[in-house]
A and B are shown apart, each in its own frame.
Chain A
Amino acid sequence: MSSIIGPASYKLFGIFPTAILSFVLPVIGIGLFAYIMTRRIAPLVRAAPDNRLDHIGLRIKNLVVVWLGQIRQPRYMLAGVLHIVIFAGFLILSVRSISLVVIGLSDGFVLPGLGGWLGHVYNFIKDYAATFVLIACIVAAVRRGIYKPKRYAVPEKYGKDHTAEAVFVLGIISTLMISESLFEASELAYALTVDGQSHFLAPLSLVWIFKGMLTSASPGFLQGLHIFTYFVHDLAFFFFLCFLPLGKHFHVITSIFNVFFMRVQKGNIKPVQHGINDEELDSLESFGVKRLEDFTWKHMLDFHSCADCGRCSDQCPANAVGRPLSPRFITIKARDLMFKNYPLSGEIYKSKLLVEDIFTEDEIWSCTTCGACEEECPLGIEYIDKMVDLRRGMVDEGMVPQSLQKPLKALEKRGNPYGKMEKKRAEWTEDADFKAKHSIKDLGEETADTLYFVDSITSYDDNIQEIARRTSIILEKAGVDFGILGKDEKDSGNEVLRFGEEMLYQDLKQQNTEAILASGVRNIVTADPHAYNALKNDYKGLPEVKHISQVVAQKIATGELELKTCQDPDKVYVYHDPCYLGRHNGVYEAPRQAMDAINGLTRVELEKSRDRSFCCGGGGLMLFFEPEEETRMGVLRVNMAAEAGANVIVTACPFCLVNIQDAIKVAGKEGQMEALDFTELIEQHLK
């Protein structure tokens, strides 16, 4: 007896060779796919430049870890594991899918290298892959369709629910898995029934189950099923291919590129325009992103790549407090606009001002640039640079809320957002008790090994000046030879840059850089993570910058600093990671090590800690902004600390301290909770 006839040789109704179909389907499918892709790439061609071919080593590492390794997926355990199964299944089955397309034209085709034992191993693995993908699809469909996790909900103002599309795609994937398995099972069942040949199959795999179900079927039915399922698979496969670029499943194609080109450095901000250096900025006609085409091609690729998983918005503190910002919908709205302005056929529409068309001014000002969204995105989609670029555009158009205009003007005139006199910048050293015991070098007149960069809030805010004095005492005790710039210090400009006032930031950067280099110091220390970030990541050519927590941890390790046993052993301490120390600069351990060096101190961890820390409300200019919100980020944070069982929140940032102190009052937890700066805790425990 002959074996089953494959789609390459089969004749439908005895006359029509199905090989014609196996030829036509791929030709149409690939042709259509190529056309759609060309239209999808069209906006990227018109986009602003972006240099993404630097740090190739890091990019390859991201490809291996973030894309292939799916490292960020398990941060949401169930969804993550389901995704890893489907992703791995796709990778494994892509080889099978390519073979299947050729099998339609040439019976029994096997990809080179898969003829021998490797082929058997592959078949064994891919049968399980298909099985697990199908199971994952069913679980995912039940989860999305019935349980409907909250983070997938689409608020009314952002349009329609996306569940139908998600479930539809799970249906297509399931169809691919089932048809592929039936195609193979029908052939093997035929071989068993007609020829008595038995093949080893992966036990309990989909093919194994189907084959078992088909052993009693007639050879005619099996032949028909074999051909039918082949074309169901072929059709579903090419339909899926062309469907991908039409919505959120585009990430199946773009993710590999998006991850390769993702942000590799942390804490920095993209230049106004790639290829234009700071000195050439005046030559630019326009600043920032005003219209769709002002985004860089990578940022447009981000829009194409979003899988709509909602993790960014689930982590976003602005979204959590009801500010009019949800990072997920920044992307979705921009993608919808790209699809609308660059339709699959017909003319390309002229784009309008984004903040009048799809975004609102408040939406863009609501971001604290905490970075929680970027840390979470499994696809490496960026937000901070986009926010900054949109703000640069708004600043250039004069669209700045009145609440921010005053501090910006004060920064321009006086170098600090409060409009206080330059000569009063070192007034914190004049405190009578402090002055009696300590003297601080002014690097305008004296020299020192280390610069203590104080920055504006610590210099001028009555309440926060204490951080400056405690930092000085700690440095003195640790034997650090240090001084301050006094009136020559200007605001670091961390938020000036991030609020889009590029030229003002350039001015501040230049004045600070000149003053620091003129002082001749070899090290810089600061207790303000925002200053730390700006000096370390935004400025160029400065001596090494450290945060005070790093100095303390290091000096404890070398024995140069010794700490007493805990003065308040009954209290429960928790450390809150400031965004600009933790997420943007990876300093998670130093403050914890220093706290743990205090004997008898009880320290608990917040559930949201380290790279998942929850922003306190934002620093720098964000303190002046008056957002629309239902509650304060700080209040949510204080409640989290209370849940963790803590009654002292230790932070290492002056802005966190202000926000959390205020939040304790707003939350009505005065007397039960207190906020403490890291420097205060350490200084109290100095031996």
Chain B
Amino acid sequence: MEILVCVKRVPDTAENEFELNGAGNDLDRDDLVYSVNEWDNYAVEEAIQMVDKMGGSVTVVTVGDDESEEILRREMAMGANNGVLLSDDAFEGSDGKGIATILKAEIEKGSYDLILTGAQADEGAGQVGGMVAAMLDYPYASLVNKIDVMDDKKIKVGREIEGGNQEMNEISLPCVLSIQTGINEPRYVGIRGIRKVSSVEIPVKSASDLGLDAASVGSAGAKTRRVDYFVPDMGEGAEMLEGSTEEIIAKLIEKLKAKGGL
């Protein structure tokens, strides 16, 4: 089975403290560390496990700049066979539809049985997977937490429904699935693993390589535009407790007692 996994490089929520930049329209990105979007990691692990069982290959693809190459290497260190970096100045400022357009162009160049994306990205809107499926006219299942292969035409996918119920669906190949965390336990990738794949060639494809009109992607093609980015004002009834952990706990207990919660 030929599987393509779409991945994204994001600032890691666990290892950063987010502050707004001076202009107030984005994060202050000077001191950020980046990694693979957590959901994507689960998607790659799932793809590797499927290929381990049934043969085939896993390709990881991302739309980004030169620095995005590091996450492709990390996923290849996990066990993905190929990596493709889609990079062009014209891609900058793409909205969700733009990213989906770029990915669609790459997907059509290959012959993939299965396209996986993460259910959402740390700083994303969870829209690209669905859009790619629609553009390709492929069936789509979102928030997938279980995959059973039936044959080379059909697979069975499970989705967790709000409230903890589980749903199973048959879906024909080729299709697009967005993968939920918890579907597996992604393997660990250490520095050694990344070094092992450090010299593997990763092709970089531009808009013209993909046969894309520069005007259809990037900020030129974007139909949505971010106009503001801010930390919401504290609303009524919300209060930030300040001080050391112990002071915060003491204040919290005091408040809970005052309101009859304890």
Contact = CB atoms under 8 A, between A and B. Distances in A.
B187 A504 contact: no
B15 interface: yes
Interface stretch (A189-197, A344-352, A391-399, A448-456): A391-399
Interface stretch (A124-132, A159-167, A407-415, A597-605): A407-415
A507 B191 contact: yes
A441 B8 CA distance: 42
A584 B14 CA distance: 33
A395 B190 contact: yes
B192 A406 contact: no
A681 interface: no
B17 A421 contact: yes
Contacts of A462: 244-246
A503 interface: yes
A414 B188 contact: no
B188 A398 contact: yes
B195 A400 contact: no
Interface in B1-19: 12, 14-17
Contacts of B236: none
B192 A419 contact: no
Nearest to B33: A413
Query: Interface majority SS on A: helix, strand, loop or mixed?
Result: helix
Interface in A419-473: 419-421, 423, 462-463
B192 A502 contact: yes
B187 A400 contact: yes
A503 B195 contact: yes
B188 A405 contact: yes
B188 A419 contact: no
A398 B74 CA distance: 12
A119 B252 CA distance: 86
A462 B188 CA distance: 29
B12 A413 contact: yes
B185 A410 contact: no
Judged by DSSP, the binding face of B is loop
B190 A410 contact: no
A410 B12 CA distance: 10
A491 interface: no
A501 B15 contact: no
A419 B14 CA distance: 6
Contact of B78 (A282, A398, A401, A507): A398
B64 interface: no
A402 interface: yes
A287 interface: yes
A409 B17 contact: no
Contacts of B239: none
Contacts of A423: 31
B71 to A, nearest CB: 12
Nearest to A407: B14
Contact of A409 (B15, B79, B195): B15
Contacts of B12: 409, 413, 419
B193 A414 contact: no
Nearest to A396: B192
A504 B193 CA distance: 11
A399 B187 contact: yes
A406 B13 CA distance: 11
A402 B15 contact: no
B235 to A, nearest CB: 28
A501 B190 contact: yes
Contacts of B245: 462-463
B189 interface: yes
Contacts of A401: 185
B192 A503 contact: yes
Contacts of A414: 15, 33
B35 interface: yes
A349 to B, nearest CB: 24
Interface in B148-206: 185-193, 195
A503 B192 CA distance: 6
Interface string A67-100: 0000000000000000000000000000000000
Nearest to A394: B188
Contact of A282 (B31, B35, B185, B195): B195
B37 to A, nearest CB: 13
Contact of B190 (A413, A421, A504): A504
- Interface range, A side: 20 to 34
A463 B195 CA distance: 38
- B interface residue count range (under 10 / 10 to 19 / 20 to 34 / 35 or more): 20 to 34
Contacts of A408: 188, 190
A397 B244 CA distance: 41
Given A410-B14, A419-B15, A462-B245, A399 B188 contact: yes
B252 to A, nearest CB: 15
Nearest to B17: A421
Contact of A413 (B17, B35, B185): B35
A316 B244 CA distance: 37
B95 to A, nearest CB: 29
Contacts of A421: 16-17, 31
Nearest to B182: A402
Contact of A410 (B15, B17, B189, B195): B15
Given A406-B14, A408-B188, A410-B15, A398 B244 contact: no
A278 to B, nearest CB: 13
A400 B188 CA distance: 6
A503 B78 contact: no
Nearest to A404: B188
A463 B247 CA distance: 12
Contacts of B191: 412, 503-504, 507
B15 A398 contact: no
B45 to A, nearest CB: 9
Most buried by B among A282, A287, A399, A413: A413
A647 B35 CA distance: 47
A398 B196 CA distance: 14
Contacts of B189: 398
B188 A395 contact: yes
Given A287-B192, A462-B244, A409 B187 contact: no
B26 to A, nearest CB: 19
Contact of A398 (B14, B17, B193, B195): B193
A609 to B, nearest CB: 31
Contacts of A399: 187-188
A507 B188 CA distance: 17
A282 B196 CA distance: 8
B244 to A, nearest CB: 6
B220 to A, nearest CB: 34
B35 A409 contact: yes
Contacts of A409: 12, 14-15, 35
Interface in B216-259: 244-246
B190 A503 contact: yes
A287 B192 CA distance: 9
A659 to B, nearest CB: 18
Interface centre among B186, B191, B246 (most CB of A within 10 A): B191
Contacts of A413: 12, 15, 33, 35
Nearest to A462: B245
A406, A408, A419, A420 interface centre (most CB from chain B within 10 Å): A419
A281 B192 CA distance: 9
A88 B17 CA distance: 66
Interface in B35-77: 35
Interface of B: 12, 14-17, 31, 33, 35, 78-79, 185-193, 195, 244-246
Given A405-B188, A409-B14, 6 more contacts: A397-B187, A398-B187, A399-B188, A402-B185, A402-B186, A421-B31
For the complex of A and B, the 4 pairs showing the least CB-CB separation, nearest first, are A398-B187, A419-B15, A400-B188, A503-B191
Interface of A: 281-282, 287, 395-402, 404-406, 408-410, 412-414, 419-421, 423, 462-463, 501-504, 507
21 contacts: A281-B192, A287-B192, A395-B190, A396-B192, A398-B79, A399-B188, A400-B187, A408-B190, A409-B12, A409-B14, A410-B15, A412-B191, A414-B33, A419-B15, A421-B16, A421-B17, A423-B31, A462-B245, A462-B246, A463-B245, A503-B195
